[in-house]
Amino acid sequence: MVDVLNNSAESLGRFVRRFFRTVINYIKFVWELFKNIPGAFSNFHTTVEQMQVVGITSIPVVFAASMATGAIMSWQLAYQFGDMIPMMFVGMAVGKSVMVELCPILTAMVLAGRIGASMCSELGTMAVTEQLDAYKVLGLSPFKFLLAPRLIATVIMLPVLTVISIFIGIVGGYEVAHLYKEVSWSVFFYGVRMFYHNWDLVVGLIKATLYGFFISSYACFFGYYTHSGAEGVGKSTKATVVAGMTSILIGGFTLSKLLLV
């Protein structure tokens, strides 16, 4: 029993030390990344290419996720409260929820699994095949030419995708309410407009910007420090997705607590 407790304590201690070492290295990495952001604008075509990869290619999956989000939210509200409250409150609840919480967080999670994993595996493959070392030998900074453009592109495009997601989510919510509960356009959007505040959209976009930073910074960090060949690429990709989704959930709750008062 004593040996088991000692082994458990040692394992816990190693995990804690490894966790804090990773956090410190991540903070140093982000600082270096921020220092290279101005230089990335001199190579802006790379950032534009990453914006196309992050934004344009993600529209179909964001469309599907947002339509389902709005539809499910609308159906549940109309089903649960259809005989208890006026139908305009369905529009109010759908508009508020998709704008402030659901669309920003679900769009970020979709991109964490799609773009974050892809970005990390690409950089990780470059790391284990010594392509990043080749950049350094040639006097080129990987932070300037590879990492900073990805960070900028994701931080810019995630709020744009979130706006698209909010629009699709509200339209999807209306379609379901209209088809299954016969809620008219005027009634549904009267509720959306009556309870709308500009701050709701601002909060959603602030969250999307933070989520974009989480996704891209984790992908760049774990990809850049990948080692041990193909197995290491898999571990780095898993770490990117887990860290990204965990930070999205915690960050979303924290920002809601701070901004929605």
DSSP 8-state class, residue 166: H
Dihedral sign computed on CA atoms, order 164, 57, 230, 21: negative
Cα dihedral 32, 37, 42, 47, rounded to 10, equals 110
Q: Which residue has the tokens 């900028």?
A: 152
Tens digit of each residue's pLDDT, the chain (261 residues): 666 666 677 777 777 888 888 889 999 999 999 888 888 777 788 888 999 989 889 999 999 989 988 888 888 877 777 667 676 777 888 888 888 888 999 999 999 988 999 999 999 999 998 888 888 888 888 888 889 999 999 999 999 999 999 999 999 888 888 887 777 888 888 888 887 888 888 999 999 999 999 999 999 999 999 988 888 899 999 999 999 999 999 998 898 888 887
Q: In terms of Cα–Cα distance, which of 70, 244, 57, 240 is closest to 157?
A: 57
Q: What is the per-residue pLDDT for 101?
A: 87
Nearest to 194 by CA among 94, 102, 100: 94
- What distance, in Å, lies between the first and last C-alpha atoms of the chain? 50
* Beta carbons within 8 Å of 181's beta carbon, 6+ residues apart: 78, 79, 82, 87, 90
Alpha-carbon span 2 to 23, nearest angstrom: 31
Q: How far apart are CA 62 and CA 185, in angstroms?
A: 24
Q: At what angle do helices 103-111 and 148-181 cross, to 10 degrees?
A: 130
DSSP string computed for 32-61: HHHHTHHHHGGGHHHHHHHHHHHTGGGHHH
Beta carbons of 73 and 98 less than 8 angstroms apart: yes
